[in-house]
Structure 1
Amino acid sequence: MNMPKNFETFAEARRNGFIKVKNAKDEGKKIVGTFCTFTPWEVIYAAGAIPISVCGMSDETTEDAEQHLPKNLCPLIKSSYGFAITDKCPYIYFSDMLVGETTCDGKKKMYELLGQKKNMHVMQLPQNSQDKTSLELWKAEIIKLKERLEKDFGVEITEEKIKEAIRIRNNERELLKEFYSLSKLNPPALWGYDLHKVIDGSNFSMDKALQAEQFTEMIKDLKEKYARGESPVNKDAKRILITGCPSGGVLDKVIKTIEECGGVVVCLENCTGIKEKYKLVREDIDPIDALAEKYLSVPCSVMSPNTGRLEFLDQLIDEYTVDGVVDITLQACHTYAVESFSVKEFVNKEKGKPYLNIETNYSPSDVGQIKTRIEAFIEMM
């Protein structure tokens, strides 16, 4: 099957964006690097700046990072820090500001070190999304970010600019959800590996109006191909949902392996996938209130309690007709590691589906072991 229109644009967006981010800097644009889905990109857009995801997704700079950080730390944190201190990530190198949130202990301590080298703003994330006081605290943190952007970049962020950014981002989320929904089909309209690449690539698209046009055209093309009976996926492929830690750094050894072993990833519940995009920002209330409400509701494992994750999994397992769940835990990610017990209990007992937990890092050393476990998991179905 030929790839849909504009697929390569998004599949290669991270790499191709290196030149674009330099050109944007040369044109006087401000670049803001972000680490997590809790950062409200709408406020950055309202400042006239370009937000870019800067999480590390390989072990290329792990040894560099381990000169400052402990070896038994999350690979995502070590990778992100390593790329920052070695100037090997153009997005971090060209960033005028980095924004992080205190999602976990490892990240917030890493930010202290990174703040000695880069212009760093840290948002203090409350970790009870169901509490009104937490909502007010998070609203205050968003206001602090707004004020910091105004001060550092010499701009005024008006309410109307935030509202316009909310409209643009909501439109982007709606298109991504429509693209995502093509995996609800049986068989899906595309492989999960390709789905992942496109979703990830959307984080590196700097022209959102052009992105919307390209996404609309790609969705139309995929639907037309599917209507003609063109799908790359075998109808008998086992439908897998991915949950847990961000999967960008383990894309090949987990998601690609699943699809080489008779499965197809139809849904990515994690923050690499649909988690942040599913809920829109309300447009009928004060925009800062709306942003605080939306972003604090992201069901990350750092939240306590985190009932939203199981509720979301319940919904997605049914919507995407899932045959099994693979839970990715990055080494030393304690919050997701602890939650894996509750997720397994829920998936096995409440949904009656098989569950597999994969604890890994960015090293290729466990590729063979993971493949053996995935083969057995899919054969079991």
Structure 2
Amino acid sequence: MNKLPEIFESFGEARRNGFLKVKEFKDRDENVVGTFCTYTPKEIIYAAGAHPISLCSVSEETIPEAEKHLPKNLCPLIKASYGFALTDKCPYMYFADMVVGETTCDGKKKMYELLGELKDTHVMQLPQNQSADGLELWKNEMYRLIEKLEDKFATQVTSESLRGAIKSCNEDRKLLREFHELGRLKPSVIKGFDIFNVLNGANYTFDKVEMREKVRNTISEVRAKYEKGEFLPEGPRILVTGCPIGGVADKVINAIENTGAIVVALENCQGYKELHEDVDESIDPVEAIAKKYLNIPCSVMTPNDKRIELLKDMIDEYQVDGVIDMTLQACHTYSIESHNVKNILVGEKKTPYMMLETNYSKSDEGQIKTRVEAFVEIL
């Protein structure tokens, strides 16, 4: 009667199935570029005729090996990223011809020095503010990446190929944005963990025609459920913000929804943060790409007013009852920024707020469950 669970499961399998697809790319002598962060301008990689692939960084499996080279009190995402490269346990890293990283934080930029000993690693120097000067610096980094890709793959990145890649990636963003915005429906018909699985799975569905068809079908089926009145049981509507959530989605989102609350929006990197703005198709393509990516409201930016504005808008648009700020241990920028986020959301928006710090281990599941239950109870 209801195909939604089956569809969501298929997106959950996409990352595993993606390994085989990337092997097909390499069997056809196609180029693969490994990426870590939403600041990576994938349009430029596509324009160079290569495939941008998100690398493994969301499991504690390889962290013990990484800690032989990296400090224990470092962000788990950084340790996992390096650990998978060090142990050769990530097929995406194995098949990648090169890796692109950005200096989003001190931990990452120093880790890239070690990673460069294992794999050809190009580091983009990300400005720490969104000023005119910052944009000029970031635009120069676009040209440096273009030059690197042209040299690496003996190809040429043209304005035409950039415009084609921009149009294609904007189409993907519009579609995934439309899907995420299903969380605005009230009463709710879709859970936050399913929203995460579809967005994450779409990222690993490398056949874009297949990805778009699956997402459109999912949107249609969710809307059909809404029209039929097949709603979820009512509960507090939660927005999750903060660090990339991939390594703790199961632990955090499920803990929230097991209380009877519903996660209606994910502002995190693997959620709405990158999707909410397209690349301008009417101006110079390099400048347009630089503008779009520099505008991503990550906590590494100072000041980071765009994140506050985005959160305030999302609280209204998704009719949010409470905000949970998920911070990974030792992520200093998000930890410090949580102070201002709390003051503004609680003070100006009158929205209950909780900061939740965690890592990739299972050891704090009980503590998270207790804290989340207490937070939802006050709502």
Q: Taking structure 1 as the reference length, what is the TM-score of the superposition?
A: 0.97
Q: Which residue of 2 aligns with 1:176?
A: 176
Distance 1:12 1:68 in 2: 32
Distance 2:54 2:320 in 1: 29
Distance 2:56 2:352 in 1: 31
Distance 2:18 2:103 in 1: 27
CA contact (8 A) 1:267 1:320 kept: yes
- In the TM superposition, what whole-angstrom CA distance separates every residue of 1:298-330 from its partner, at most 9, and x where no partner exists? 010000111111011010000000000000110
**Alpha-carbon distance change, 148 to 88 in structure 1, aligned in 2, over 3 angstroms:** same
CA contact (8 A) 2:56 2:84 kept: no
Q: CA deviation at 1:7?
A: 3.2
Distance 1:211 1:14 in 2: 12
Confirm whether residue 258 of structure 1 aligns to residue 256 of structure 2.
Answer: yes
Percent of paired sites with the same residue: 57
Question: What amino acid is the match of 2:375?
Answer: F
Distance 1:47 1:356 in 2: 43
Q: Secondary structure at the match of 2:24?
A: helix
Question: What amino acid is the match of 1:380?
Answer: I
Distance 2:241 2:147 in 1: 35
Distance 2:304 2:225 in 1: 40
Q: Which residue of 1 aligns with 2:186?
A: 186
Confirm whether residue 125 of structure 1 aligns to residue 123 of structure 2.
Answer: no
Q: CA deviation at 1:5?
A: 7.0
Consecutive unaligned residues in structure 1, runs of 5 or more: none
Question: What amino acid is the match of 2:212?
Answer: A
Confirm whether residue 38 of structure 1 aligns to residue 39 of structure 2.
Answer: yes
Q: Which residue of 1 aligns with 2:110?
A: 109
- In the TM superposition, what whole-angstrom CA distance separates every residue of 1:211-266 from its partner, at most 9, and x where no partner exists? 222222221122122211223x21x2110000110111111211011000111110
Distance 1:128 1:111 in 2: 21
Bigger Cα displacement from structure 2, 313-322 vs 201-210 = 201-210
Distance 1:210 1:150 in 2: 29
Q: Which residue of 2 aligns with 1:279?
A: 277
CA contact (8 A) 1:4 1:218 kept: no
Q: Secondary structure at the match of 1:249?
A: coil
Q: Which residue of 2 aligns with 1:134?
A: 134
Q: CA deviation at 1:8?
A: 3.1
Distance 2:355 2:19 in 1: 34
- In the TM superposition, what whole-angstrom CA distance separates every residue of 1:170-221 from its partner, at most 9, and x where no partner exists? 0111101111111101122211001001111121121212222222222112
Q: CA deviation at 1:102?
A: 0.1
Instruction: Count residues with an aligned counterpart.
Output: 378
Q: Which residue of 2 aligns with 1:164?
A: 164
Distance 1:375 1:121 in 2: 44
- In the TM superposition, what whole-angstrom CA distance separates every residue of 1:313-369 from its partner, at most 9, and x where no partner exists? 010000000000000110000000000100111111111111111111101111000
Consecutive unaligned residues in structure 2, runs of 5 or more: none
CA contact (8 A) 2:243 2:268 kept: yes
CA contact (8 A) 1:42 1:165 kept: yes
Bigger Cα displacement from structure 2, 53-62 vs 297-306 = 53-62
Q: CA deviation at 1:16?
A: 1.2
Q: Which residue of 1 aligns with 2:327?
A: 329
Distance 2:47 2:140 in 1: 17
**Alpha-carbon distance change, 4 to 168 in structure 1, aligned in 2, over 3 angstroms:** farther
Q: Secondary structure at the match of 2:364?
A: helix
Distance 1:218 1:358 in 2: 31
Distance 2:205 2:142 in 1: 23
Confirm whether residue 51 of structure 1 aligns to residue 52 of structure 2.
Answer: yes
Q: Which residue of 1 aligns with 2:69?
A: 68
CA contact (8 A) 2:45 2:52 kept: yes
Q: Taking structure 2 as the reference length, what is the TM-score of the superposition?
A: 0.98
Q: Secondary structure at the match of 1:364?
A: coil
CA contact (8 A) 1:5 1:218 kept: no
